[in-house]
A and B are shown apart, each in its own frame.
Chain A
């Protein structure tokens, strides 16, 4: 029976739950503080951990003495995370941990550990490539077409320098966990993007059976790609618990260590040269880029420039990876895409300005070169975005914003992403009392995953959302993939659809006789099981379930690894237009408005989908105007490991955000496409282009802080 089922989404006009802008089912719990994050977990007899980290950017440990810490009041366990002789590659690297009765005691004690270092020379700043010396590793030149000939034949050539610094993930809930390691049972409360997998990974390191590990996570306070691993603090937390006789230990990074080591996004700097014909068509791209993502540097995957406009026929690219003494990069929401979008869209906008072309017209033309989702989708989005941004009314050619010190400008940025769905299994249970639960070993990163699962099950079973109990956040549930790459909604919506439909068919079989129709002729609508299209031959959900007697229906559903299976898809795109005002006397940039037009296939919940875009736009504003990791060249330390100097926008800094999601039939029919990443890609480019448009000059390196804006204006004068 199961293999012949048609799992496809109901036709748009027949959907009763999917497509409705419903509030999150965990919204009240979260806004009232009842939702429990890993940080909120308190266990009887729990100890508190603290870390000692390395204050030097590059050093060799010569000795470690923990004796004073061991005798410090309240200390129950000390764990070494590094050894004498070890070479440390960045400040903030974990050296040792302590568990004590109170957090204050743990912090006092950890400072009593004496570590002697041989301090080694460091490099923490990659902006000046000439100073990188042997830390810079150039990869070979990539050439396609005949760029030399194309530049020779060009009507216009535009050259520029562009840069985007390292950002950190800034998870509001820091990295960490509570661990209780008993001889035959290991309870683990991490803040993780990988509920199904992270416990097994940690078990392997600790050499304990994966069967002992019980991972729990009810709510999660931000990961953005930095919380896939148990991390070194997960390992040390476990050892502290064991050394303390199995008492639970809570160990989280403090704010400054969180910003220093718990994930960052690589920088990207590039000198870019473009050739074009008089009509605006780009004919050649040349770029020399460099980047760092910490000790391992940062590579440029082949073919990733120019971004979106991949079909530019003649290209020459070189890239240099710079290794520096700062914590290693981690995946950051659409890895590399925001940087590449900025480099590409800024260089192209500068070319449009040189051509005296309206950027809308210029980009429209060059979208001929666009990869997935293709020129047509992007062009329609560009047109829509221009309309919503009042482009025709508000746009002026670069630098012609009019008199007065405050200049207004508009700018465009593009995004694309892959989506699809990760491997996911779901279990749907229908109980004789009519209650329904869906179990998935997934996690809700704050994106609305719980709500989406409930909506898909409700739609499938013909029930209200409130009738579905969603159980996620335990590794005891059927395994589901880590939340990365915008694959969660694809994974869990497909597995939930299938498990719920499989369970429903079992219920149809039970009531088939009573309704006098074969199971294949039944449908679940509005809290009833009925003969298809015939409400007069029906039985209520409750009465149907009662017929189960003492037997609960329990059915699985599975989404295979990342393939489009009819229910889901990949390859989304979007266009964003920023509207800014720049005070040319102070260099302050104010957001007036951001328009985000986005394609994401079939939308299960427009409200949580829009929220994703709002959040993404805010991160773009942060990256364009405020955020940067500032490293001190002398001390090798991060100077701004806190939210005073690592600036993030508040609500008053954000301006108006207009979200337009493509819901036309040609988008809907593609199936579900994840939206976590694409809308965070093009915003920095749009804002930086808007600033250039407003003030008549490119501010080459973001964030566009007053010092840089004023410097660019000085250069113009």
Chain B
């Protein structure tokens, strides 16, 4: 790990002032579960780390009429233990539970989850975010892409978003607050994630001098929501595919639906055909089956990841089945 300068501000304002024009100048340290391994592997070598741990305003979960406010520093374990989250946002609780390691849940933060870098093995081995080979071609399409994207994978990004909370937050219509020297902007989580077009771009819209401070989730009263993860291991393991659903019900009828797939595209992936298929329908087995099929329409699997199409469809089916049984 390259030597770096360490700063521990106590306000967001101070933290922002310590950031630079690139991530190589300075980066933010929260739980460190991703950042430190990137630094140890020399994938990322910032000159300065700005620790967020001393900033009280980034902590805490607060429920109000406007919904749920989750501070960026809230750990996965705190989120999982929160009674409001467990009761009204089972899709978030399931995503937290899916990080099946107490150590990771105790250290990892919700903000960090949204900002974590891709797990693409070419990236992690040092071939760059876009996994370029010696001749500038992407290694993924002709290489080992068993864990890569099946949607939005025409390049140059082929990796999948690693975020656990991205899909449920998009499904719930959550927003994030981003603070920079020029002020605060509020953005739907869906707009926060982007597929990078160049090697130096990122998987989200954060500027190098910007901090994700909090997540705002709309009230979930009357919204049935669930997350289903297909993970190979019960022990800590990134999912192969996930689905998060949020259904606004009118009696037994789906008034509106949000269905978001995880680990299938460089961003949390809205399955709009499935949402459409379900809207206005009675929430029964036939409707669920149809939505699960529609969810993977238009998938463009690579040479080795066709199986993920099936997994994504099953994840949608099972998430909807869970939502159908939920009382919320």
Contacts and interface: CB of A to CB of B under 8 A. Distances in A.
A626 B144 contact: no
B197 interface: no
Given A632-B144, A634-B143, A639-B121, A649 B314 contact: no
A706 B232 contact: yes
A401 interface: no
A interface: dominant SS: loop
A653 B233 contact: yes
B235 A651 contact: yes
A633 B141 CA distance: 12
Contacts of B42: 111
Given A585-B310, A639-B125, A639-B144, A707 B304 contact: yes
Contacts, number: 81
Contact of A107 (B1, B119, B304, B314): B1
Interface string A266-299: 0000000000000000000000000000000000
A711 B310 CA distance: 11
Interface string A603-636: 0000000000000000000000110001011110
A491 B41 CA distance: 43
Contacts of B305: 707
B236 A650 contact: yes
Interface residues of B, number: 34
Contacts of A642: 124
Contact of B2 (A108, A635, A710): A108
Nearest to B139: A634
B234 A633 contact: no
A540 interface: no
A644 interface: yes
Nearest to B1: A104
B233 A626 contact: yes
A632 B100 contact: no
Interface residues of A, number: 32
A488 B162 CA distance: 46
A642 B139 CA distance: 20
A633 B139 CA distance: 10
A434 to B, nearest CB: 47
B157 to A, nearest CB: 18
A705 B133 contact: no
Contacts of A111: 42
Contacts of A625: 232
Contacts of A696: none
Contact of B133 (A626, A635, A650): A635
A158 interface: no
Interface string B205-242: 00000000000000000000000001011111110100
B159 to A, nearest CB: 13
A435 interface: no
Contacts of B23: none
Interface of B: 1-3, 42, 100, 119, 121-122, 124-125, 127, 133, 139, 142-144, 146-147, 230, 232-238, 240, 304-307, 310-311, 314
Interface of A: 104, 107-108, 111, 585-588, 625-626, 630, 632-635, 637, 639-640, 642, 644-645, 647, 649-653, 705-707, 710-711
9 contacts: A585-B310, A587-B307, A632-B144, A635-B127, A639-B125, A652-B233, A706-B232, A706-B307, A707-B307
A-B pairs with the 4 shortest C-beta distances? Answer: A650-B235, A652-B234, A707-B307, A639-B121
